[in-house]
Chain A
Amino acid sequence: MGRRTIRGILRKSHSLACLALAVSLFHPVFPPGDAAAADLTFSSKTYVLGYERELAGGQKNRYVPAYEYLSADAANLGGKPVAIHFYGWGRVDLADQTGTGKTSGDIGSLYIEYLHPQGNAQVKAGRFLLAEGVAMETLDGGFAKVTTPLGLGFAAYGGVPVEHSILDNTDKGDSLYGGRVFFARSGFVEVGVSYLKEKGSFQGKDRELYGGDLWLRVAGPVELTGQVAYNQAVHEIASQRYAVRIVPHSTLDVSAGYESYTYKGLFQPALNPAFVSPAVDNGDKVQTIFGVLDWRFLPGWTLELAAKDIRHDKADPGNASRGEIGVRYAYNGRKDVAGLSAAAVAADKDENEYQEIRGFASYSPAKIRLALDAMAQKYKQEINGKKNAYQVVASAGYQLLAALQLSGDLTYTQSPNYQEDYAGLIRATLELGTSTGGKK
């Protein structure tokens, strides 16, 4: 226990030291006075929730957690293509304790970034979300990427993974590194191979993945995509996905494809007991055929269709199919959207079947914003003695200042878990910036 604690402290210290070092290394780039040349954006989102829960024994607890989410981005520092990004949140419980402590929080990202004006070359250092080839990680470390004049590109990364384990006897990884080599030709093809290794003890082994990815424009409106990940630790293909997408017209978008994964291959590095035996049968494999359609059939009106057929090797949980249809209408200069959708899951086992219907709309005249969202679900087999669930979320907001909006939500839920549940939320959103242009 003591060893683990010291190790944790050392890791945290190491992570913070890396962040401090990353920032200090680039300090000379920002001489005093240059800050005025930067594009600055700052966002604060405050949420105060209120709800009650009845515990076993009849005791009622009242929860009022207050959350603060902050993000700040400083780009174009000193007139150079250098930026610093920050995103984090914190929670304080104003009544009964909601989590493992009265307070909690996290730094989601804090990194410095250089974006070269040519060749999509870039360097990052600090804590950041990484998506590159077979990697989809939060990392305390560094990342570099460059494309050469021949179209051949390289990406490399390394550092300490930001993960959390709730699995007994398994800690998060110690270190993570990898890279991707790719070839891209404008408007025609991008093909890559990637590698990732995470040192740790994931079911007794390191995490080691080889990946392949493809984007290919076959003909004008037709493109093929594919990605595959091979898990070296268990010697099998962990996951693969192939799709064809056709955009024959600016109003129509269609895609169909196949994807599969094995529990043994995909879940080997899991740090959550929900993905480890006995919660799941490690010998199972999932194969899915899917199709999606998005059609703007009239100005503002969009039809969405989605279907997938999910096949399991094992009779338990068995196979299932999900179909979905929805219509959306955007109005009021697209500030508001109304939608209606229905979905149904048919399955081998009754316990896996349900139907769902949902409707929503918003209305934003001048400084007021109103929104309503209602959903009903019907289960084929009773859960906790109930076959139905309902939820309605009503929201009302007011733009107090150009940069400040206040709003509140009231949520009513009736489900197998709740006889009748009311929850409230107050939201304050402050958005400040020194420049125009896109960031969402």
Chain B
Amino acid sequence: MNRRALAGNILGAALLASLLGCSAVSQTPSVPPKHPGDLPPGRVDCLECHKDVSTGALKPYASLRHSRVFIDSHGTYARKSQSLCASCHAPAFCQTCHAAKEELKPNTRMGDRPDRMAPHRGDYLVTHRIDGRIDPGSCYRCHGNKNDAKCRQCHK
């Protein structure tokens, strides 16, 4: 089977599942579209209120507590269930950093929130030369196809 046919089959299967309607859909409750209660300020620790496994996310609440470990690897979880993130975060939250077009650094916008893990603090124009040399992959994920016209002043 060639790749085109394989992709077609995958898309077809997804479409078929959608068309079959409710009988094809798991009866497990979805992640709620909105967290029912007000969230406390700062980093949220789901374990303060929840135990065991989230019925909607299908993962233990311990996996979702917003520790430094989770923040560093949040993409791993987001790529499996974006609706889980959306339960507590508006789309604008993700796009503070993950924007296709942006001019203001996240930490400039959040100067009143030094507790947030905002990248590029300080005069990052200097430090990015070093971080970019030793780990350019970490830059690429956000800047690979973004409107960073200012990059062209040096990167021609």
Contacts and interface: CB of A to CB of B under 8 A. Distances in A.
B95 A108 contact: yes
Contacts of B135: 286, 288, 310, 320
A163 B143 CA distance: 10
Contacts of B91: 71, 73, 85, 87, 108-109, 128-129
A164 B79 contact: no
A47 B104 contact: yes
B123 A389 contact: yes
Interface in A213-232: 213, 215, 217, 221, 223, 225, 227, 232
A146 to B, nearest CB: 5
Contact of B93 (A128, A136, A418, A440): A440
Nearest to A288: B135
A141 interface: no
B31 A156 contact: no
B112 A273 contact: no
Contacts of B111: 371, 373, 393, 395, 409, 411, 425, 427
A360 B33 contact: no
Given A41-B90, A164-B100, A286-B135, A185 B149 contact: no
A134 B18 CA distance: 22
Interface string A403-440: 00001010101011110000001010000000111111
A245 to B, nearest CB: 6
Interface string B121-155: 11101110110111111011101111111111001
Q: Determine the main DSSP class of A at the interface with B.
A: strand
Interface string B70-95: 10110111111111000111111111
Nearest to B139: A274
Contacts of B65: 247, 250, 253
A317 B10 contact: no
Given A178-B7, A225-B76, A373-B114, A275 B140 contact: yes
28 contacts: A47-B108, A71-B91, A71-B92, A87-B92, A108-B101, A118-B25, A128-B91, A129-B94, A148-B24, A149-B26, A177-B11, A186-B53, A187-B60, A190-B80, A215-B80, A217-B60, A227-B79, A247-B65, A254-B69, A272-B143, A274-B139, A274-B151, A275-B136, A286-B137, A330-B42, A337-B115, A351-B130, A372-B114
Q: Which 10 A-B pairs have the closest CB atoms?
A: A438-B35, A119-B26, A360-B114, A164-B147, A154-B14, A337-B115, A187-B53, A294-B67, A415-B123, A71-B92
